Amino acid sequence: MGEKRSTLAVPYAVDLPDRVRKERYLDAGFYEMEAELLWPRVWQMACRLEEIPAPNDFAEYEFLDQSIVVVRTDDLGVRAFQNACRHRGVRIVQGRGSCERGFQCPFHGWRYGPDGANAGVTQRRTFAEHNLAPEDLDLVPVRCEAWGGCAWINLDDDAPPVRESLEPAASMLDAWKVESLRTERWFAARLPVNWKLAIEAFVEMYHVVQTHPQLIIPTRFGRRDEEGFDPDAFIDADIQYLRAMSDGMAGMTPAGDVRIAEGLRDVELPADPTLAIETWNRTLNDAVVRWHRDRGADIPDLNDLEARGINLTFFHCFPHYFVLPMYSGASSYRFRPLGPEETLMEIWSLERFPESDEREQPTPPEPWEADDPRWPPIPTQDFSNLPRQQRGLHARGFEYMRLSEGLEGHISNFERTIDGFLAGLPHQRLLPALAAVNVYPFEQPILDLGF
Ligand code: FES
Ligand SMILES: [Fe+2]
């Protein structure tokens, strides 16, 4: 595999799978190619469904120079349109709201129903008949499907359905009932880096030792001491880790789950380290499930999922969305390009709430800069490397990234899947590549994507 060269005629393509040329992260032409050939052909997470909880609620989703309106329908499905009046192109909506009485263009007052159908042309008689063909006056529909608690859009009518495009992550996240999660907190970061550089800072564990030394807790990372294993010290270390992932990671572990773990501090563990760790995990899983079910939240049996081999820690949903489950909750990330060297990264902390809970509609956060002192410790550490990396790429002597085949294979698989889109391959040939990337990304081997 190491020597296989790509056959795709894409400028700056990943020819050797463990070398990624720097132009992919800064060249304006490459960015333009992504804008033409990648983004309009992929499923994009456009909004969380709790942003549009009631029929006729809408939310605007912007990517590159495009704006899409996502609407909750009466039967609680979702639909979407391009946000441009069919008269002279004005964006019909900004932000979010309810369209119970339809939409009205702020310029000359053309009206559209919540289904996007044209519902009125002001001073209609002044237009020639050929400018009033009914099918030309409706807002241009965009494919929109709900999955996993989110509305997804795709500008490509030939793309397979969203769920198929997100496999195998979709099935595993369905088993975990990802759709029952709701927003607890929502943050946004403006990062002075290419969107792929931002994504790739999170898909390997190689950087953890150097960048996040506080996470090197032996029972979670690396070897554990077989000699002199002390169950109490182990529990302390594990709770410390959960706290670090909760406070330090903007709520990746729900605070409630950390409290549940703290309540189990006195549990009796066997002396054998492997058995002890198994017992602890099983006990904690059970306690988390019981606590959430008692308060009326929807949660699957976590031990049952583990027994079925479902590894619930991290899923990349190609191209720009992550779900990182921990016990009952998750962090979720979305990355959107704002320019060749600028990215909007959003972080959600997602939790399970009793089904009877009335939750406030989440509203998009004001983006903070990468060095904003309000970031918790773990993103602060990642965000301090990223701008330095983007600037470093400009060095005249730097040509390409050298990936560790053993630790950074996912980056290669991700970049080569992008090349498949840039080469204009048909969706059927891209599906196996998507299946290679919609996975747990750590320590993935470099895979043959079939092109
Ligand atoms: S641009 Fe919308 S009514 Fe004129
Ligand atoms: Fe990190």
Residues 6+ apart with CB under 8 A from 365: 186, 187, 188, 346
Give the E-state strand segments of 87-195 in sequence order: 96-98, 103-104, 111-112, 118-120, 141-147, 150-154, 181-191
Among the atoms of ligand 1, which is closest to the Cα of residue 122?
3
Q: What are phi and psi of 183, to 5 degrees?
A: -70, 130
Tell me, in angstroms, the distance from the centre of ligand 2 to residue 318's CA.
19
Ligand 1 pocket mutation pick from 107, 112, 127, 136 by most atoms within 8 angstroms of CB: 107
**SS3 assignment, position 413:** helix
Identify residue 11 by its one-letter amino acid code. P
Count, residues in the chain = 451
- Cβ of 106 less than 6 Å from ligand 1: no
According to the model, what pLDDT value does residue 4 have? 57
- C-beta separation of 52 from 64 below 8 A: no
Paired with 311 in beta bridges are none
Q: What percent of the chain has pLDDT over 70?
A: 96
pLDDT at 1: 45
Read off the pLDDT of residues 1-38 as tens digits, 9 standing for 90 and up: 445 556 678 999 999 999 999 999 999 999 999 999 99
Instruction: Indicate the top mutation candidate among 88, 93, 112 to test ligand 1's pocket, ranked by most ligand atoms within 8 A of CB.
Output: 88
Tell me which of 83, 85, 138, 139 to substitute to probe ligand 1's pocket, judged by most ligand atoms within 8 Å of the beta carbon.
85
Written as one letter, the residue type at 230 is D
- Specify the pLDDT at position 2: 45
CA of 195 to the centre of ligand 1 (A): 34
Ligand at minimal distance from the CA of 83 is 1
Pocket test for ligand 1, best of 82, 103, 108, 131 (most atoms within 8 A of CB): 108
Q: Is 334 helix (H, G, I), strand (E, B) or coil?
A: strand
Q: Do residues 386 and 201 touch, judged by C-beta distance below 8 A? A: yes
Q: Whose CA is nearest to atom 1 of ligand 1?
A: 88
Distance 16 CA to ligand 2 centre (A): 26
Lowest mean pLDDT, pick from 311-320, 389-398, 422-431, 433-442? 311-320
Weakest mean pLDDT among 9-13, 43-47, 273-277: 273-277
Question: Ligand 1 within 6 A of 87 CB?
Answer: yes
What percentage of the chain reaches a pLDDT higher than 90?
Answer: 82
Q: Which amino acid is at 421?
A: F
Residue 450: pLDDT band (50, 70, 90) is: very high
Q: Identify the nearest ligand to the CA of 381 by its number.
A: 2
CA of 187 to the centre of ligand 1 (A): 34
| pLDDT, averaged across the chain | 93
In terms of DSSP bridges, do strands 181-191 and 368-369 run parallel, antiparallel, or are they unpaired?
A: parallel
Ligand 1 atom at minimum distance from 89 CA: 1
Ligand 1 atom with minimal separation from the 90 CA: 1
CA proximity to 265, closest of 249, 248, 247, 283: 283
Residue 106 makes CB contacts below 8 A (sequence gap 6+) with 90
Which tens digit of pLDDT belongs to each residue from 303-331? Answer: 999 999 887 889 999 999 999 999 999 99
Bridge partners of 79, per DSSP, are 71
* Beta-sheet pairing, 96-98 with 57-63: antiparallel
Mean pLDDT of 60-82: 95
Nearest CA to ligand 1 atom 4: 108
- Supply the residue whose CA is at minimum distance from atom 3 of ligand 1: 108
Contact status, residue 350 vs residue 183, Cβ threshold 8 Å:
yes
pLDDT of 264 strictly over 90: yes
Q: How many CB atoms lie within 10 A of CB 183?
A: 20
107 lines ligand 1 (CB under 6 A): yes
148/189 Cα distance (integer angstroms)? 23
Ligand 1 probe mutation, 81, 90, 121, most atoms within 8 A of CB: 90
Name the closest ligand to CA 85. 1
As given in the structure block, the two tokens for residue 343 are 């990215």
Which residues contact residue 36 at a Cβ distance below 8 angstroms, ignoring those fewer than 6 apart?
none
Nearest to 44 by CA among 201, 153, 143: 153
Ligand with smallest separation from the Cα of 213: 2
- H helix or E strand, kind and range, residue 51: none
CB of 121 closer than 6 A to ligand 1? no
Number of other residues whose CB lies within 10 A of the CB of residue 307 = 10
Report whether 448 contacts 431 (CB < 8 A).
Answer: no
Q: What is residue 418's predicted lDDT score, i.e. its pLDDT?
A: 98
Sort 298 into a burial class: Cβ within 10 Å, 0-12 / 13-18 / 19+: middle
Give the pLDDT confidence of 224-250 residue by residue, as tens digits: 556 678 888 889 888 988 988 888 776
Which residue from 193, 186, 187 is spatially nearest to 383, judged by alpha carbons? 193
Q: Which atom of ligand 1 is nearest to the CA of 110?
A: 3
What is the 139 CA–ligand 1 centroid distance (Å)? 12
- Residue 11 contacts residue 33 (beta carbons within 8 Å): yes
